Amino acid sequence: MADDDDDKPKGLEIEGKSTLEILAQIDMFSGLPPGHLRRVVDIGVEESYKTSATIFGEGEPGDKFYLIVEGAVRISRIVPGMGEEALAVLRPGAYFGEMSLIDDASRSATAVCHEKCRLFVVNRRDLEDLLFVDRDLAYELLWNWVRTLSRRLRATNDKMTFLATTSKF
């Protein structure tokens, strides 16, 4: 590999942007220095799935974070008496499964390939190993996650308040 290649971001291209550039735009990774982001990209792998393939099912153990490089993924839950309820259809640049990097809880939804797709995947064990070795990265990443979860909780509280006050709950 030539020396000038070492300065280029590693990873997959998503609509003309590198994986590193996409990660930098995700709440959980935003604000991290490029060197830290590059280390996260370096532990990721590519996975491919055919249309209608299940990536993971609700209730299964979670151990991976996914970034969509190409294609589309449907996130859904099974509602008793009603069947599948699609929560979202995610496209390139979107991510899912991030909660599995933080806790040991089972998957809260099912992820199915809506269209043939390629995914950039980070395994929890690999990330934990990286965070153990790089304390500065661990500190910055964990604070980002705390802020992200706090924003999500505030948004959920706002939605619950709206539903309760408009009698739609």
**Token couple for 141:** 């990443």
- Tell me the whole-structure pTM to 2 decimals: 0.77
Confidence at 14, pLDDT banded by 50, 70, 90: low
Domains within the chain, CATH numbers bracketed: 8-160 (2.60.120.10)
What number is the average pLDDT over the span 101-130? 92
Dist CA 38 CA 34 (whole Å): 6
Q: Which pLDDT tens digit goes with each residue over 36-84?
A: 999 999 999 999 999 999 999 999 999 999 999 899 999 999 888 888 8
pLDDT above 50 (res 10): no
The pLDDT assigned to 73 comes to 97
